[in-house]
Amino acid sequence: MSDTGKIINKISSYMPRLGLSALILCLASGIVLVFYYRPMGNVFQNVEEITTLVPYGWFFRQLHYGSGQLFTILMLLHTLDHFLRKRYRIYLFKEWVLLIFSLCLCFFVLFTGFVLKGDKEGFFAGQIFMNILEAIPFIGGSVSKLFIVPGDSFFFLPYLYHCFFLPILIIYLIRDHIREWFPNQRFLLIGTAGLFLYAIFVRPAIDIPPEASVAMIQGPWFFLGVQTLLKFLPVLLAGLIIPGLFVGCLLILPVIKTDSPTRDHRGRIAYVGENGLHYLLVVALCFYGFLTLRAAIWGP
Ligand code: HEM
């Protein structure tokens, strides 16, 4: 194997281990925050009090934010690595589905965390999410009430999902995929040192009060592409059908996998189908990356 190949292999084996270190720190700092966080009443004021009045509250918030982002980004890169190397060919369908589903849940945890800040951006993101769910024909109203309800309890369901259901579900789903739950001490040490330095030295973004009037409100970074699509397409299409189709195509890859074009007609069709779908997904990912960058620079 070439030197570049060896380096790439090393990086791919480091990513999940560092990701696990970030998850451990994220869960630990989340447990500290949950003692002070109140999902009812004036949530924005409560979060500001955690930042300014609770001893080291600012530190735990920033540590939680940094470790949560790092964990999800590393899980995304790890899945991308599997996808680009076409490792779904060696996975059982069930295993691949669990991995993709867990990654989607990681993004949902980040999203609910963003809502929990209780500031203008969090509230706005929660409302867009509610509108997307309500746009589902016939059952939208009932489905949205399973995740978020308007009024005084607006933050309560996202809180339950974020702090309890989703982390437990993610850990449960990835349990068989993880070979070693406690990453080698070196990774834990590097992850902890890096994230502590980040929490101490990097200033957090300013939380915008819910009553402030601002020209433009942005959702979390991974949602910016959807936010842009929502400007041009109907809610159901931009918020559910397009992302759903993308995830659906990703899921069926192991079903149509082939190692080489076989002589028979069906084998050739499967080979072309798998490769066609693979590259279509690569193009869709690049396009989404472009939409995200565009929205980050010029606004959604
Ligand atoms: C996979 C696991 C988790 C991820 C990726 C994650 C990520 C996040 C993110 C990105 C935020 C927004 C922080 C900000 O913008 O300031 C947040 C907020 C929050 N998280 Fe988590 N979290 C996770 C698990 C947990 C757990 C297990 C708990 C509690 C037991 C928790 C409690 C909280 C609380 C109370 C907030 C709101 C306070 C704040 O905004 O600082 N999180 N989380």
Domain contains 37: yes
Domain boundary residue, one of 181, 205, 229: 205
pLDDT by residue (tens digit) across 99-109?
A: 999 999 999 99
In this prediction, residues 166-191 reach a mean pLDDT of: 87
Whether 268 and 135 share a structural domain = no
Whether 146 and 229 share a structural domain = no
Q: Does residue 221 carry a pLDDT above 90?
A: yes
Domain contains 68: yes
Domain boundary residue, one of 157, 175, 205: 205
Whether 138 and 260 share a structural domain = no
Residue range of the domain that includes 73? 14-205
Ligand 1 pocket residue status of 70, Cβ below 6 Å: no
Q: How confident is residue 260, by pLDDT bands cut at 50, 70 and 90? A: low
pLDDT at residue 261, rounded to an integer:
62
Q: How far is the CA of 274 from the centre of ligand 1 (A)?
A: 38
Domain contains 50: yes
Whether 183 and 57 share a structural domain = yes
Q: Does residue 87 carry a pLDDT above 90?
A: no
**Three-state DSSP string of the chain:** CCHHHHHHHHHHHHHHHHHHHHHHHHHHHHHHHHCCCCCCCCHHHHHHHHHHCCCCHHHHHHHHHHHHHHHHHHHHHHHHHHHHCCHHHCCCHHHHHHHHHHHHHHHHHHHHHHHHCCCHHHHHHHHHHHHHHHCCCCCHHHHHHHHCCCCCCCCHHHHHHHHHHHHHHHHHHHCCCCCCCCCCHHHHHHHHHHHHHHHHHCCCCCCCCCCCCCCCCCCCHHHHHHHHHHHHCCHHHHHHHHHHHHHHHHHHHHHHCCCCCCCCHHHHHHHHHHHHHHHHHHHHHHHHHHHHHHHHHHCC
Ligand 1 pocket residue status of 75, Cβ below 6 Å: no
Nearest atom (ligand 1) to Cα of 34 = 35
Number of domains in the chain: 2
pLDDT at residue 287, rounded to an integer:
97
pLDDT by residue (tens digit) across 266-292?
A: 778 878 888 899 999 999 999 999 999
pLDDT at residue 90, rounded to an integer:
85
* CA-proximal residue: ligand 1, atom 4 (nearest): 68
In this prediction, residues 165-176 reach a mean pLDDT of: 94
Whether 256 and 182 share a structural domain = no
Q: How confident is residue 4, by pLDDT bands cut at 50, 70 and 90? A: confident
pLDDT by residue (tens digit) across 126-164?
A: 999 999 999 999 999 999 999 999 999 999 999 999 999
pLDDT at residue 263, rounded to an integer:
64
Domain boundary residue, one of 170, 205, 240: 205
Whether 103 and 239 share a structural domain = no
pLDDT by residue (tens digit) across 32-85?
A: 999 999 999 999 999 999 999 999 999 999 999 999 999 999 999 999 999 999
* CA-proximal residue: ligand 1, atom 14 (nearest): 65
Whether 172 and 28 share a structural domain = yes
Q: Does residue 259 carry a pLDDT above 80?
A: no
Range of lowest pLDDT (8-12, 132-136, 177-181, 238-242): 177-181
Ligand 1 pocket residue status of 114, Cβ below 6 Å: yes
Whether 183 and 229 share a structural domain = no
Whether 22 and 159 share a structural domain = yes
Domain contains 108: yes
Domain contains 85: yes
The CATH number of whichever domain residue 25 belongs to comes to 1.20.810.10
Q: How confident is residue 298, by pLDDT bands cut at 50, 70 and 90? A: confident
Q: How far is the CA of 79 from the centre of ligand 1 (A)?
A: 22
Domain contains 215: no
Range of lowest pLDDT (121-135, 205-219, 239-253): 205-219
Q: How confident is residue 262, by pLDDT bands cut at 50, 70 and 90? A: low
Domain contains 3: no
Domain contains 212: no
Whether 198 and 57 share a structural domain = yes
What integer best gives the mean pLDDT of the chain?
Answer: 92
* CA-proximal residue: ligand 1, atom 43 (nearest): 113
Q: How far is the CA of 9 from the centre of ligand 1 (A)?
A: 31
Whether 250 and 117 share a structural domain = no
Whether 162 and 267 share a structural domain = no
